Amino acid sequence: MKQKPTPCELLSKVDIFSSLDTESLELIAQKMTLVTYKKGDIICREGETGDRMFVIVSGEITVVKMGAEGVEVEITVLKPGEVAGVMSIFDKDVRSATLRVKNNAELLMLDKETFQHILSRNTELSNKLLAYLSRQLRAETYTVAKLLTGDVDKRVKVAFFDTKPYTESIFRELNKEKYALHFFEPRLNTNTVSLSSGFQVVCAFVNDDLSAPVLELLKRNKVELIAMRCAGYNNVDIECAHKLGISLTRVPAYSPNAVAEHAAALLLALNRKINRAYNRVREGNFSLNGLVGFDLYQKTAGVIGIGKIGKCLVNILRGFGMTVLGYDKYQDKDFAKAHELHYVELDELFSRSDIISLHAPLIPQTHHVINKSAIQKMKPGVVLVNTSRGALIDTTALINGLKSGKIGAAGLDVYEEEEEYFFEDLSDKIITDDTLARLMTFNNVIITSHQAFLTREALSEIARVTLESITLYNQGKRLAELPNAVLPKFKK
Ligand code: NAI
């Protein structure tokens, strides 16, 4: 036989108590009284003042209102788990309807005095209820304002976090008013998650916090889809999202050419010292001293990670007439043959390359793949380029290599501890990261702020794929049914 729900379970289903933990629910449940009513009994009458709330445990209650000319009108029938008179436990309330027992019923009853006694002794519980009520008030105020202006937007609402003007303009352009997009500048975290109230979809980026506490609050705000507008998802608790039934999508690939071309730009700028030449000429210094570079033609390049981006770079480097060596855990022999790429072991790549570019993902095996021992094996004056992930390089070893002259130049689009700095204008702040500050002092180091992906084509592809995921969600697809879904490992 089906067991009756416990008072605590019943309470947890009541909207205003839904944000409370089990301990708080128990506290209230203990103070509730179980009352029984017979068929036809009146629990309360329309127009009377009342100071108690009821949760129906068993039986059914008819809600009736006095209509025109004294005729009773049945409004609804309350069933087990439903609640009546909830606001009267905060303040005496005039009953808006009569409650009549349809068939024998058991109700859990809580009166205002008892409830206020519980509140006066439990600040934490009071705060949680207050927070819930203020969230509701904000959502309702928003809805009422919309209704008053006749501006009721039925479109799917999407909240973007950590947005920049370039994100907003491309999404607005491709969206063509199909979905209601709202762009929030702050990053998503426990302090900003309340902004997601009223949105079915959240669109997040690499530095947003999507850990379990944030996901739980998103769920409470009824967010159903998190559309990541990036490839990586190391900032998301995927298991938790899945458990909560929140769908998660990403953009697996956007423009490998964009990143490869940026790597080539860093290489050319470093080798031909464009940054220094540009500054000199602006100052009226037309001297060429110290600006000597080398021909890339017939030199040797080493590419670590021959995936989508690595392959684009191989093409570019072959175009310069370079010999290209590649290292990858998995070799694409057909590509190598077609593009005259020579797969070698890492040590050989280190010892033969005049320039080295990194395009492997950050995984435990590639963490600090460029370290002190790797640098020792490299050619003196080697040019190092990293557009992949900062932690592929041991930054201390890199600084030592630059100081000794072993490394001739370094082009870095990524940095191990970039989260605090990259993407932001901190020009009026002090840089407290001494390692980053030291790197910035070298005249043979160019740092860009994780911008390798930043081309119109890549942004457009990111927006297109993200909006496509939202369309599929809108068509009713959820979790694994979404083509770019991110699922927990055991679900793959
Ligand atoms: P991909 O998955 O197509 O290629 C990665 C390649 O690395 C694969 O061929 C894989 O076999 C190889 N690999 C795996 N383990 C390896 C190991 N232990 N040693 C050497 N190679 C290994 O990825 P894609 O699209 O080429 O991206 C590469 C990296 O570029 C990404 O992981 C990401 O970190 C970075 N990236 C940077 C961007 C930026 O704006 N700076 C933008 C997009 C990606």
Q: CA 328 to CA 310: how far, in whole Å?
A: 10
Q: Please list the active-site residues.
A: 389, 418, 450
C-alpha dist (Å) from residue 326 to 142, 254, 407, 448: 57, 23, 20, 25
Ligand 1 centroid, distance to 395 Cα (angstroms)? 19
DSSP reduced 3-state for 450: coil
**Mean pLDDT, range 101-106, rounded to an integer:** 91
The pLDDT value given to residue 14: 81
Ligand 1 midpoint to CA 232 (Å): 11
Task: Map out the domains of the chain with their CATH numbers.
Answer: 7-144 (2.60.120.10), 157-254+458-491 (3.40.50.720), 256-447 (3.40.50.720)
The CA-atom distances, in angstroms, between 295 and each of 18, 196, 274, 299, 378 are: 68, 54, 15, 7, 19
Q: Return d(Cα 397, Cα 295) in angstroms, integer.
A: 27
Distance 312 CA to ligand 1 centre (A): 12
Structure tokens at 405: 């002259």
Residue 32 confidence class, pLDDT cut points 50, 70, 90:
very high
**pLDDT above 60: residue 342:** yes
Mean pLDDT score, 366-394: 97
Q: Whose CA is nearest to atom 39 of ligand 1?
A: 452
Distance CA 181, CA 199 (A): 9
What does the pLDDT look like over 215-236, one tens digit per residue? 999 999 999 999 999 988 888 9
Specify the ligand 1 atom closest to the Cα of 451.
Answer: 40
pLDDT (0 to 100) of residue 152: 72
Ligand 1 pocket mutation pick from 230, 309, 345, 455 by most atoms within 8 angstroms of CB: 309
Kindly state if the Cβ of 414 falls inside 6 Å of ligand 1. Answer: yes
Which residue has better confidence, 421 or 202?
202
313-319 mean pLDDT: 98
Q: What is the pTM of this model?
A: 0.69
363 Cα–ligand 1 center, Å: 10
Is residue 146 over pLDDT 80? no
Average pLDDT over residues 449-460: 95
Judge contact between 21 and 71, C-beta under 8 A: no
Q: Per mean pLDDT, which range of 10-14, 103-107, 176-180, 331-335 is the poorest?
A: 10-14
Instruction: Please work out whether the CB of residue 108 comes within 6 Å of at least one atom of ligand 1.
Output: no
pLDDT at 490: 55
Highest mean pLDDT among 12-26, 33-47, 48-62, 277-291: 277-291
Does 328 contact ligand 1 (Cβ within 6 A)? yes
Residue 1 clears pLDDT 70, i.e. is over it: no
Q: Residue 72: pLDDT above 60? A: yes
Round the average pLDDT of the chain to a whole number and report it.
92
Q: Is 201 left (phi over 0), alpha (psi -120 to 50) or beta?
A: beta
Tell me the pLDDT band of 492, cut-offs 50, 70 and 90: very low
Asked whether 54 lines ligand 1 (CB < 6 A), one says no
